[in-house]
C-alpha cells in the first residue's frame, strides 16, 4: 500500500469489511472482488479508486476433483519469481474506536490453461506495473483497468502437492514440493475409511446377527 507517497507493509485480515458496515457480526467477509464488477459493487467501488495494495506471494494453491477426492496443486510463475496479488483494502472503524484493516484479492476469469484447475484466478500485477496499480492520487481509473486480467497462457505453471496442505497446522517448505503419482496414490489410499473387522468368539458359529456379550 502507499501512504503519503511512500510504500508500506501492513498486516491485514483477509476478508474485506466495508467501512459502512454497522455490525460486522452480521456481514459476510469478502475475500474476492470480481474484476468485472469491482467498479460498481458498493463494497469495492471506493476501495478500487483509493485503496489499492499488493499481496506478495510465491504462489497459491488450488484444488481439483480427481478420483473422488480433491487433489491440491501449487500454482506459481513459470520463471519462479515472486508475484503480487492485486488487492483492495478498507479500514473498518467500530463504535468504540477500534479499527480493523481488512483486504480482498481481485480475481478475473481464468485463461485457457489455468481454467483446467479453476474458472477464476487471482489478478497478479507485474513489477513494472506496481507503481501504476498503487498510485491512487488521481481520479483516473482507466489507467488500471487493463491490469485486471488473468495471466497470459504459459505465464504460470503448477504441480500436485501433498494433501498435508489441507491442514492449517502444517506449515513448512515441504508443502511446496511436487509429489509423484505413487505418492498421490498412497495418500489417497491412506484417506480411505478403514473397515472395522468384526470379532467372532472362538469355537462359536457366526449366525450373522452378532452378539451382545
Question: Which of the 8 DSSP states describes residue 138?
Answer: S
Answer whether residue 201 shows pLDDT above 70.
no
pLDDT at 4: 65
How far apart (Å, rounded) are the C-alpha atoms in residues 114 and 155? 10
Banded model confidence at residue 133, pLDDT cuts 50, 70, 90: very high
Burial label, 163 (beta-carbon count in 10 A; 0-12, 13-18, 19+): buried
Burial label, 100 (beta-carbon count in 10 A; 0-12, 13-18, 19+): middle
Edge-to-edge strands, sheet with 156-160: 60-66, 69-77, 156-160
State pLDDT tens for residues 152-188: 999 999 999 999 999 999 999 999 999 988 888 888 7
State pLDDT tens for residues 56-80: 999 999 999 988 889 999 999 999 9
Amino acid at each position: 500500500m502507499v501512504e503519503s507517497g511512500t510504500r508500506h507493509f501492513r498486516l491485514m485480515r483477509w476478508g474485506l469489511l466495508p467501512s459502512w458496515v454497522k455490525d460486522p457480526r452480521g456481514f459476510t467477509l469478502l475475500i474476492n472482488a470480481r474484476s468485472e464488477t469491482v467498479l460498481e459493487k458498493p463494497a469495492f467501488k471506493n476501495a478500487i479508486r483509493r485503496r489499492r495494495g499488493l499481496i506478495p506471494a510465491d504462489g497459491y494453491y488450488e484444488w481439483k476433483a480427481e478420483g473422488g477426492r480433491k487433489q491440491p496443486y501449487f500454482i506459481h510463475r513459470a520463471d519462479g519469481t515472486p508475484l503480487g496479488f492485486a488487492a483492495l483494502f478498507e479500514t473498518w472503524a467500530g463504535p468504540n474506536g477500534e479499527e480493523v484493516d481488512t483486504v480482498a484479492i481481485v480475481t478475473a476469469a481464468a485463461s485457457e490453461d489455468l481454467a483446467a484447475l479453476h474458472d477464476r484466478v487471482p489478478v497478479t500485477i507485474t513489477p513494472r506495473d506496481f507503481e501504476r496499480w498503487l498510485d491512487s492520487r488521481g481520479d483516473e481509473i482507466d489507467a488500471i483497468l487493463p491490469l485486471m486480467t488473468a495471466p497470459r497462457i504459459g505465464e504460470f505453471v503448477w504441480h500436485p502437492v501433498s494433501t498435508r496442505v489441507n491442514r492449517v497446522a502444517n506449515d513448512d517448505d515441504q508443502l511446496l514440493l511436487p509429489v509423484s503419482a505413487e505418492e498421490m496414490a498412497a495418500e489417497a489410499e491412506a484417506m480411505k475409511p478403514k473397515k472395522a473387522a468384526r470379532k467372532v468368539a472362538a469355537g462359536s458359529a457366526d449366525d450373522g446377527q452378532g452378539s451382545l456379550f
